[in-house]
Amino acid sequence: MFAKISRNSVNSFPTSMLLATARRSAATQPSRRVLRTTRNFTVLAFESSADDTCAAVVTSSREILSNVVIKQHDLHEGYGGIHPMIAIEAHQRNLPIAVKRALKEANVSVAKDIDGIAFTRGPGIGGCLSVGSNAAKTLAAALDLPIVGVHHMQAHALTPLLTSWPNPPKFPFLTLLVSGGHTLLLLATSLTSFRILATTPDESIGRSFDKVSRMLGLKWTAFGPGAALEQFAGQQWDADLPDIGNFPRPLRGKLGFSYASLHSFVERCIAAKQGIQNIDEGFKLALARGFQTAAVAHLEEKLLLAFEWCAQNKIHVQDVVVSGGVASNSYLRERLAECLKTVDTTVPISLSFPPPSLCTDNAVMIAWASMHRFLARDHDEYTIGLRPKWSIEELSS
């Protein structure tokens, strides 16, 4: 039953996690299914919190047996953002296809090989979350399987514990979560304890990338508007670029993010020329590069401030994890690596990014974030509700 085709296997689940699991499990009543295994637990996971319909099969031995993502960018391009009703309908259409494909690619039988089902419980768009959650619960009830509802941002944050094996980040570590709905700088002290050191009161970095990409009239690539901006900004250009002035540096010296003023700066530059139709390619490129540089510099400044905060509070941090869709940006990856070289420490800081395909939304991260709970036999009731708004700090309470 647990003999699996070994694909993408990285190694077994950390022993410390299994021991913690065994200790906690003594207190809880295991389901019939969970009793069948401790070492190699296989999770089928669903993710449908925003505009990607995802299903994946992952084992506790770190095997990613399948990872299916059905994107909806083409459906939302005309609306300038995620249209909730269209996203819900697309999830309803696509989820059965994604699940079927995930099981087929993993070469597993849902009745015989799956030990637990995980889904995104929040945060996200309520109607979108409910598609994945209802499917997960109904399938689990029919098969008598345990379920775990996962926090989407915790899943982004824990991905490097799966993908950076055999050298995963060690707690406590700093985490930058840069995505479509969030810009968070966190101190992670355990799998479930996250302290927010900085967040944004206005707009996320991802939305800001999306807005600037749209303002510049860039064609969305298969990976969406942010990736289109990165591609455009990275093009070869031998001529001099025009001077567009200096981007603002919001909340200078403070542990907090603000991205609205960066895209407003681009908006004002375009308005000063009476519209994008009057802007030549060189000016457009200067705006795209200027924005990307300012957006990433904002992260660099706050990351260094977080290290100062840790030093003041005598918290010894040696690892930084960066995840979420914007973490797939290669300019950001290069800049953050450079920035961390300037931190005053005896040992170099280790920086972990998931591979780009696991930075944007996927169900592998949902499966992985559920694993410690399944192994601890700490699963949810089938009646568990959704949390469309859910602070990551509440996980530890």
Cα–Cα distance for residue pair 345/311, rounded to 1 Å: 10
115 lies in the site for Fe ion, by CB under 5 A = no
Phi-psi region of 122 (alpha: psi -120 to 50; beta: other; left: phi over 0): left
Dihedral sign for Cα atoms in the order 194, 198, 201, 203? negative
72 lies in the site for ligand ATP, by CB under 6 A = no
Q: Which stretch binds ligand ATP (CB under 6 A): 100-108, 249-257, 311-319, 326-334?
A: 326-334
Quick note: the x/- pattern for ligand ATP over 90-129, rule CB under 6 A, is ----------------------------------x-----
Sheet holding 350-352, edge to edge: 193-198, 183-190, 173-178, 319-323, 350-352
Rounded to a whole number of angstroms, the minimum distance from the CB of residue 209 to ligand ATP is: 4
Q: Among candidates 182, 168, 67, 160, which has minimal Cα distance to 355?
A: 160
Residue 299 in tokens: 């992260």
Strand, coil or helix: 127: helix
- Amino acid (1-letter code) at residue 125: I
Residue 346 in tokens: 């005896």
Binding to ligand ATP, residues 236-295 (CB under 6 A): none
Binding to Fe ion, residues 333-352 (CB under 5 A): none
Is the CB of 45 or the CB of 375 nearer to Fe ion? 45
DSSP secondary structure letters along 314-381: T----EEEEESGGGG-HHHHHHHHHHHTTS--SSPPEEE---GGGTSS-SHHHHHHHHHHHHTT-PBP
370 lies in the site for Fe ion, by CB under 5 A = no
Residue from 42, 60, 163, 179 in contact with Fe ion (CB under 5 A): 179
Quick note: the x/- pattern for ligand ATP over 216-245, rule CB under 6 A, is -------xxxxx--x---------------
Is the CB of 110 or the CB of 125 nearer to Fe ion? 125
Q: Which does 47 bind (CB under 5 to 8 A by kind): ligand ATP, Fe ion, none?
A: none
Binding positions for ligand ATP, rule: CB under 6 A: 49-50, 124, 152, 156, 179-182, 206-207, 209-210, 223-227, 230, 324-326, 328-329, 360-361
